[in-house]
Amino acid sequence: MALHYFHFFNGDTTLDSVGTDHPDLVSVRREAVRALREVLHLRSTDALWTSDFWKVWVTDQPDAIGQTVLTLELKAL
List pLDDT tens digits, range 18-50.
999 999 999 999 999 998 888 777 766 676 777
How many Å apart are CA 75 and CA 26, to the nearest integer? 23
Q: Catalogue the E-assigned strands of the chain.
A: 2-9, 13-14, 20-22, 54-59, 68-74
pLDDT in the model for residue 44 = 64
Alpha helices in the chain (DSSP H): 25-42, 46-50
Please state whether 19 falls in left (phi above 0), alpha (psi between -120 and 50) or beta: left
How many Å apart are CA 75 and CA 60, to the nearest integer? 25
pLDDT in the model for residue 43 = 66
pLDDT in the model for residue 50 = 72
**Percentage, residues of the chain above pLDDT 70:** 91
